[in-house]
Amino acid sequence: MLIRQAPDIRSSEITDEKLYLNRRRFIQAASAGALAFSVPVGEAEAQKPKGPFDTDEELTPYDDVTTYNNFVEFGPDKSDPSENARSLRIKPWTVRVEGEVKRPENYNLEDLVKPYKLEDRIYRLRCVEAWSMVIPWLGFPLGELIKRLEPTSKAKYIEFTTLHAPDQMPGQRSSMLPWPYVEGLRLDEAMHPLTILAVGLYGKPLPNQNGAPLRLVVPWKYGFKSVKSIVRMRFVEKQPRNTWAIQAPNEYGFYANVNPEVDHPRWSQSRERRIGDFFRRKTLMFNGYADRVSDLYRNLDLRKNF
Ligand SMILES: Nc1nc2c(c(=O)[nH]1)N[C@H]1C(S)=C(S)[C@@H](COP(=O)(O)O)O[C@H]1N2
Ligand SMILES: [Mo]
């Protein structure tokens, strides 16, 4: 269940790499999702990491990124989201911005995203849990959007909420988690340039199972912080409660910074399996982004604030 046979992964890796690297023309993605953007992914661009945070590690194949998912709204198993997420309707899509902010409004997704030149915005980032992947996200820094929305001086945190639509999300018809899924960030974490809102991956609009049409990506935190299919962003004074901390407060906290030195109550967090690899590797502090983000937590006991 957790890993497939190594040879299978290898062959799919080769196919996907080829597909990706040979995509020389502009991808007209308008018909595939809610967003009408076109992204040139040429051979050179694909091979050369160029963003300030890009890793040069091997990308996880597209097929794995889009079939090994956690999205409990579509079922508890890693294969469920890719099988069940077709029922999600992402057009039209509205994001409600509210709370301690000067420009509260219901934003049409296209309007929210329009100012960002997405063709310049490919982020090759690691994400981690018990398994890990390297994904070329397409998106923009959340901080740029926050500046545009102008939070008031009272805003200390942002709460993000996923769509609640049991007719489209079969998992929401059961009580596996308290719905809708909610996550939060401290404002300075949200403003950090490594925190991005993703609208695509591998040069294409996000597949539904990966959180279409808009999701968070916070690469130095465990995967559950990266909330999918966002319909609301609320600027608040107090630390929001987040779904997994509500569900299992002794196992999951608010911060969820990747910390190999602190065990989860039921398992070690010191190693991870990179999808496609046979052996586990050491998990790095802050998922390898410590030099970029550890300053955010100077005054925080990371053992207590997990
Ligand atoms: N709405 C929502 N967002 C979610 C989840 C979820 O169940 N529902 N799962 C989280 C967890 S635990 C992980 S590991 C990542 C997985 O993202 P991926 O499927 O794109 O790899 O999504 C996160 N975002
Ligand atoms: Mo996860």
124, two tokens: 């090759």
153, two tokens: 């001086």
- CATH architecture, domain 11-258: Alpha-Beta Complex (3.90)
Pocket test for ligand 1, best of 127, 228, 274, 283 (most atoms within 8 A of CB): 228
Per-residue pLDDT of the chain (306 residues; tens, 9 = 90+): 333 333 333 333 333 444 444 333 333 333 344 465 555 554 445 556 678 899 999 999 999 999 999 999 999 999 999 999 999 999 999 999 999 999 999 999 999 999 987 866 889 888 888 899 999 999 999 999 999 999 999 999 999 999 999 999 999 999 999 999 999 999 999 999 999 999 999 999 999 999 999 999 999 999 999 999 999 999 999 999 999 999 999 999 999 999 999 999 999 999 999 999 999 999 999 999 999 999 999 999 999 999
Pocket test for ligand 1, best of 224, 230, 264 (most atoms within 8 A of CB): 224
Ligand 1 atom nearest 81 alpha carbon: 19
Q: What pLDDT was estimated at residue 55?
A: 93
Cα-to-centroid distance, 22 and ligand 2 (Å)? 32
Neighbours of 130 (CB within 10 A): 16
**By the 8 A CB rule, do 208 and 86 touch?**
yes
**What is the Rg, in whole angstroms, of the alpha carbon atoms belonging to the chain?**
18
Q: Which residue's CA lies nearest to atom 19 of ligand 1?
A: 69
Q: Which residue's CA lies nearest to atom 8 of ligand 1?
A: 71
The counts of H helices and E strands in the chain are 9, 14
Ligand 1 atom nearest 211 alpha carbon: 20
Q: What pLDDT was estimated at residue 47?
A: 54
Q: So where are the chain's domains? A: 11-258
Cα-to-centroid distance, 70 and ligand 2 (Å)? 6
Q: Which residue's CA lies nearest to atom 1 of ligand 1?
A: 228
Residue 217's nearest CA partner among 124, 296, 82 is 124
Rounded Cα distance between 173 and 206, Å, is: 24
Which ligand ends up closest to the CA of 72? 1
Q: What pLDDT was estimated at residue 19?
A: 42
Rounded Cα distance between 33 and 219, Å, is: 24
Q: Which residue's CA lies nearest to atom 6 of ligand 1?
A: 71
Ligand 1 atom nearest 222 alpha carbon: 14
Q: What pLDDT was estimated at residue 237?
A: 98
Q: What pLDDT was estimated at residue 52?
A: 82
Cα-to-centroid distance, 128 and ligand 2 (Å)? 8
- Torsion angle, alpha carbons of 106, 108, 113, 114, to 10: -120
Q: What pLDDT was estimated at residue 11?
A: 36
